[in-house]
Amino acid sequence: MTTVNVSDRPAHDLKADVLVLATVDTDGKAALAAGHGLPRGAATHVAAQLAALHATGAAEEVLTIAAVPGVAAARVVLTGLGKASARTTAFDHEVLRRGAGAASRSLKNATRIVVALPTTGAESVAAVAEGAALGAYRYAGVRGPSAQPTKGVTTVTVATSDARVKAVKAAATRAGILADAKAYARDLVNTPPNQLFPQSFADSVKARNAAATAKVTIKVLDEKALEKGGFGGIVGVGQGSVNPPRMVTLTWNPPRAKASVALVGKGITFDSGGLNLKPAASMLGMKSDMAGAAAVAATVFAAAELGLPVKVTGYLCLAENMPSGTAQRPSDVVTMRNGTTVEILDTDAEGRMVLGDGICLAGEAKPDAIVDIATLTGAQMVALGARVAGIMANEDTFRDRVGTAAASAGESAWPMPLPTDLRSQLDSSVADLAHKGERWGGMLTAGLFLREFVTEGTPWAHVDIAGPSYNEGSPWGYTPKGGTGFGVGTLLALVEGYAG
């Protein structure tokens, strides 16, 4: 865990391994950005280094210089914020997050860092703190006994003249909790699927709860309880695997809660496609098919740690989608938790089946709103690419509310429609519902399918994170390779919005 704090002492006087400063791109040449607070001699030294290195100050440019006279830290890391003037003090929060993140991501052998980027109050301090803490994330991996454990960043100090302002201190604390929550979600996604299966996922959330100061209530339904409870969607998807399915509920229920929000996460710990087996290349990366459930679990813990006055219930719909003699078949008809029957057409469309049951269960508690989050369709990536999530909802105002939460968190998402014209694609001749539509608009018909399980009158949104939950490419900003933790920021901001 990374500790985040703030200090109003001069950044160059603070004891640390690294001092992070920002540069800006002024006509193709890097200049120190505002807010560095360096004494003149140090600033001149850094400026000369920037010129000698032909630095540009472009976003993602990160340079390290050592032994700057007048700076206590042995290393100074300069991170580009892109085009701006050397006097600019107000930057877009996501620019600050990425700049701070690119810097901390570049670090080796640093445990204490001080970050002195241009800030203008609590929200920008939060962005710098979040970026720095998120960029410091490393997945430890599964290593043998001879591996050397790597020492990562443990303390991030954000330099700001507002360090004594209550809102600024609170922002730093929140940034630490958020970064820690995202790190948990990333770890879950990165864990190999032979180690993370439904029961071990349940064990992981129990262990995290046991170690936490603010406890949540955890309930686990095993395969027998799921069968008895009529969760035909989850049971059907999970029945092909030797690792049986689970439904895990995590509840943060503070006294005098102002509202209640239900979060439902797709938790397919491995999606082979089932009998409709995926081709080899598409199967790689499918350990990340539980990223929605990971984001939900991490958010409930973060809400508890922040002591938010909102009831938050997370529903983790956990199953492993495997082919075998006991696996679900195309043409099977299963009965979902609310009694709706569904004709299975393609066992690879498993996410909507586990989510359908999860949305039913969430609705039974009559929450003020339901959000489901899922690596649901390849069509999401076709439509929006690998970095932008799709948001669908049964009410435009609620869809926009989720979109605003995403924007504030620096998680790119875009509104998508649920065209009623496409609903007839889900008609079946043998059951109440067919479980997929045509190829075109596959993200939208998946959303329309889920909508069938939402109780009338409850605001509901569906966030498809197939692309942004898992980074197959190079790291960028504060986003590592592999699990990204996408969704935690959106869900937490949404829940906070209900706190008033």
Choose between 62 and 373: whose C-beta lies nearer to ligand BES: 373
Segment near ligand BES (CB under 6 A), from 175-183, 206-214, 346-354, 480-488?
Answer: 346-354
Q: How far is the CB of 247 from ligand BES (least distance, A)?
A: 18
Choose between 18 and 268: whose C-beta lies nearer to Zn ion: 268
- CA dist 447 and 449 (Å) reads 5
Please spell the DSSP secondary structure of 423-471, one letter per residue. Answer: GGGG--SSSSEES---STTHHHHHHHHHHTTSPTT--EEEEE-TTTTEE
- At 63 the three-state DSSP class reads strand
271 assigned to a ligand binding site: yes
Exposed / middle / buried, residue 279 (Cβ in 10 Å: 0-12, 13-18, 19+): exposed
- CA dist 67 and 328 (Å) reads 64
Q: How far is the CB of 442 from ligand BES (least distance, A)?
A: 6
Binding test (CB under 6 A) with ligand BES, winner from 436, 461, 475, 489:
436
Active site residue 278: yes
Choose between 6 and 383: whose C-beta lies nearer to ligand BES: 383
Residue 94 binding Zn ion, by CB under 5 A: no
Choose between 337 and 436: whose C-beta lies nearer to ligand BES: 436
Q: How far is CA 399 from CA 303, 336, 382, 415, in A?
A: 21, 26, 21, 7
173 phi, psi to nearest 5 deg: -60, -45
Interface map 246-285 toward Mn ion (x if CB under 5 A)? -------------------------x--------------
Binding test (CB under 6 A) with ligand BES, winner from 375, 394, 458, 490:
375
Cα–Cα nearest to 273, from 241, 245, 244, 296: 241
- What tokens were used for 137? 């994330």
- At 103 the three-state DSSP class reads helix
- CA dist 168 and 225 (Å) reads 47
Binding test (CB under 5 A) with Mn ion, winner from 348, 372, 411, 496:
348
Binding residues for Zn ion restricted to 251-280, rule: CB under 5 A: 268, 271
Q: Which of 311, 352, 401, 436 is catalytic?
A: 352
Binding residues for Zn ion restricted to 304-363, rule: CB under 5 A: 351
Q: How far is the CB of 170 from ligand BES (least distance, A)?
A: 36
187 phi, psi to nearest 5 deg: -60, -45
What is residue 150's DSSP assignment? P
Q: How far is the CB of 204 from ligand BES (least distance, A)?
A: 21
How many C-beta atoms lie closer than 10 Å to residue 439's C-beta?
A: 10
Choose between 22 and 354: whose C-beta lies nearer to ligand BES: 354
CB 271 within 8 A of CB 261: no
Residue 320 binding Mn ion, by CB under 5 A: no
| CB-based closest residue to ligand BES | 378
Q: How far is the CB of 315 from ligand BES (least distance, A)?
A: 18
**Contact residues for Mn ion, defined by CB under 5 A:** 271, 348
Q: Which residues are catalytic?
A: 278, 352
**Contact residues for Zn ion, defined by CB under 5 A:** 268, 271, 289, 351
